[in-house]
């Protein structure tokens, strides 16, 4: 099978099981694109996440698009993006019709509360994945990057103490990363 078709199928599965949106989908994409298929390296995945967060649009769509672009060019980007989004669109349309019909059901409201909890777990998993990649570079927990830790602590300090706008902190972090890593 060709790469675009493989990307479509893999990202269709990711889109089908990515309850919770952008941050919840990161571990799923990492598992498929880095660990199972080996299409991209851990470093490339980290770069894709960074770029995806800085560009406008939904994180899951951006990540899928950039991963597909790295793996299969323009056709790969299109296949991965459509695959990731297709299930969400179809499911959303079906759920809309369902919730219009069952909007007063206590059972349906309880199910939604359960889904919120599962979504929170997936988001926390994505946060730990991103922090682990940033601080340890995918080399396990044996090689802490002190510069990355200092940048993280400085960014958190500026955000909490002086309430600096997050965009300015991202700009500061990017400049610091250029200085430290180039």
For 74-96, how does the pLDDT look when each residue is reduced to its tens digit (9 = 90+)? Answer: 999 999 999 999 988 898 899 88
Do 36 and 81 share a domain, yes or no? yes
Do 90 and 154 share a domain, yes or no? no
Looking at residue 91, its pLDDT comes to 85
Cα 74 from chain centroid (whole Å): 20
pLDDT at 156 over 80: yes
How does pLDDT run across 91-129, given as a tens digit for each residue? 889 988 988 888 788 898 888 888 888 888 888 888 888
Do 118 and 40 share a domain, yes or no? yes
d(CA 102, CA 32): 36
When divided into structural domains, the chain yields a total of 2
Mean pLDDT computed over 31-50:
91
pLDDT at 150 over 80: yes
Q: With bands split at pLDDT 50, 70 and 90, how would you rate the model's confidence at 139?
A: low
DSSP structure string for 119-152:
HHHHHHHHHHHHHHHHHHTTSGGG---HHHHHHH
Structure-token pair, residue 92: 């959303």
Do 107 and 134 share a domain, yes or no? yes
Looking at residue 140, its pLDDT comes to 66
Do 38 and 66 share a domain, yes or no? yes
Do 68 and 130 share a domain, yes or no? yes
pLDDT at 1 over 60: no
Structure-token pair, residue 177: 């990363």
d(CA 115, CA 118): 5
Do 129 and 180 share a domain, yes or no? no
Mean pLDDT computed over 41-53:
90
Q: With bands split at pLDDT 50, 70 and 90, how would you rate the model's confidence at 58?
A: confident
Do 179 and 97 share a domain, yes or no? no
Do 16 and 56 share a domain, yes or no? yes
Looking at residue 131, its pLDDT comes to 85
More confident: 2 or 4: 4
Q: Which domain covers residue 150, as residue numbers?
A: 145-182
Most distant CA pair in the chain: distance in Å?
58
Share of the chain above pLDDT 70, in %: 96
């Amino acid at each position: 099978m060709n790469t675009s078709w493989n990307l479509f199928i893999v990202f269709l599965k990711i889109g089908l099981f990515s309850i919770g949106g952008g941050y919840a989908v990161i571990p799923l994409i990492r598992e498929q694109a880095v660990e199972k298929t080996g299409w991209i390296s851990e470093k490339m995945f980290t770069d894709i996440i960074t770029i995806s967060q800085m560009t406008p649009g939904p994180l899951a769509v951006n990540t899928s698009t950039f991963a597909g672009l790295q793996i299969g060019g323009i056709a790969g980007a299109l296949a991965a993006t459509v695959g990731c989004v297709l299930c969400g669109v179809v499911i959303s349309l079906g759920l809309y019709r369902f919730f219009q019909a069952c909007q007063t059901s206590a059972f349906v409201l309880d199910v939604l509360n359960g889904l919120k909890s599962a979504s929170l777990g997936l988001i926390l998993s994505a946060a730990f994945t991103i922090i682990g990649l940033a601080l340890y570079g995918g080399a396990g927990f044996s090689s802490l990057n002190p510069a990355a830790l200092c940048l993280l602590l400085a960014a958190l300090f500026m955000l909490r103490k002086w309430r600096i706008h997050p965009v300015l902190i991202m700009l500061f972090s990017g400049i610091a990363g250029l200085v430290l890593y180039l």
